[in-house]
Structure formats: C-alpha cells, structure tokens
Structure 1
Amino acid sequence: MSIADKQQEILGELSFFPDWQERYEYVIGLGRKLSAMPEEMKTGDKLIKGCQSQVWLDARISDGKVHYLADSDSVITKGMIALFVRVLDGETPDAILSTDLSFIDKTGLKEHLAPTRANALNLMATQMKQRALEFSVP
C-alpha cells in the first residue's frame, strides 16, 4: 500500500465519525495500539523538542525501509504520532522525504487542538522526515 493510500485510508476511517470528539477517541485508540517503547529508549536524543507533551521518536533502517517507534506521555499526542507512524513506517527514506503530510490537515483534528498541540503535529512530521533523511543515500 502506498503512502497516499494509507493517508486516504485514515481519512476514510475518520469520516465515519461525525463529530470531532469521536474522532479524537479513535485517534487515542490508535495511540494505545502503538508498539510499546521501552523506558530505557526514552532518552533526550529521542525527544521531539518544542512539543508541549513529551514525545519520543526512534527510527531504524532495515532492508532499506525506515521503522519508527514512538511514545508520548499524553494520550492524544500519542494518538497523533500514531497516525504518522502508520503512514510512514516501513517506507523508504526517499518515499518519506518526498511525501506531503498535509493529510493531517484534512482530518479536521487540528482545528480542535490548542495552538501548541497543533504546532506539535508539524514538529512530529518534521522530525520523522529528519530521521528518514539520516538514512537517505546521497
């Protein structure tokens, strides 16, 4: 499944929920399904700086594909990073770097977040791309 297909799938799933509160509950549920990040991996170098909540992001490459592991001390923030992990995990660095992540704007979730949390979405997307860049072959 392509990155664009994954984005469309998420938008389709969210469209089943008529109000934003139900959408948030769904996103929180996605966060609960993220693979657990071991406590010893929650180090300062994995922390996404600038987020109101603590958000840790780890990225590894295997067989040319980037694999992300993420966690947060906030359930909604963990759900939001879960959206990005779902879209980008298992993709090549080049595919990640060339991806437009504005699908998150189409979810309608950003409109109901405090400005600092909405900004965190941009920081998460930027950091995921930055980690992919580290694996990119020049």
Structure 2
Amino acid sequence: MTNFFKHKMRSKSIGEIIGWVLFGILGIAALAILFAFVVMWLWNWLAPDIFGLPTLTFWQAVGMVLLFKLLFGGFGGSGKSHSSSKRSKSSCDKEPKGEFSKWKHYDQFWKEEGDAAYQRYLQRLDNETNDEVANT
C-alpha cells in the first residue's frame, strides 16, 4: 500500500497534496453538518407532534447525534479491514478441530447410553439434595 501512495503522489506538488487533504476535511465537515441538519429537521418535524417533545436547535441536534453514537455504537463498520474477515475456501472444507470433533459421536452415545446415564445423574442429584437436607 505504501508503494501505491508513493506512485500516486510522485507527480503531485506539495500544494496539490495539501489541497486534497483540505478538500477531504471540508467534505467530511460538510457531511457532518448536513447530517446534523437532517437529524434536527426530522426531530422537529416528528417528535413535537407525536410525543409532545420540544424542538431542537442545530447544536442540540449535534449533541443528540454524539450522545446516540456513544450510547448505541455507531455508524457501521467493525474496525477490521474487509480482507481480514474473509475465510479461505480450504478452511471450510476441513474437519473441525478440538473438542467439537467429538460431537459426531453424540447421537450414537445417546441411543446406546443416554437415557440410563441421565437417570443415574438424576438419582445422584436426588441423593445430594437429601444429604444437604439431612445435614441442616
């Protein structure tokens, strides 16, 4: 990725680079202001009539956006790059590792020993409960 930026910026002057950075910052700020105005407009259109709530100013709408961002997380994305979340095709074809590989024997165990083992477990619980009652 570093080589990509070096290649793209090779023919650019420092003034051009600063111009693009400032353009990006202004674009982000404009979108944030637009988003706050949309929140304010929707709130002032719906909330007072439906719920009897007061109207909001622009800065109150900005505060509401920030508050909801803090409370509910936000604006999408998990913080991971897209490529790190991809799984290779070969990993899906492999047998599960660790303790999960033993689950394939569960149905057979339950057919052969499950009910008897469960009854022994219940009997053991009854005995433990009776012992605790007798000790108190």
Please classify the TM superposition score into its range, dividing by the shorter chain length. under 0.3
Question: Which protein is bigger by CA-based radius of gyration?
Answer: 2
Q: Which has the higher contact order (CA 8 A, sep 6+)?
A: 1
Q: TM-score if structure 2 supplies the norm length?
A: 0.20
Q: Which structure shows the higher helix fraction? A: 2
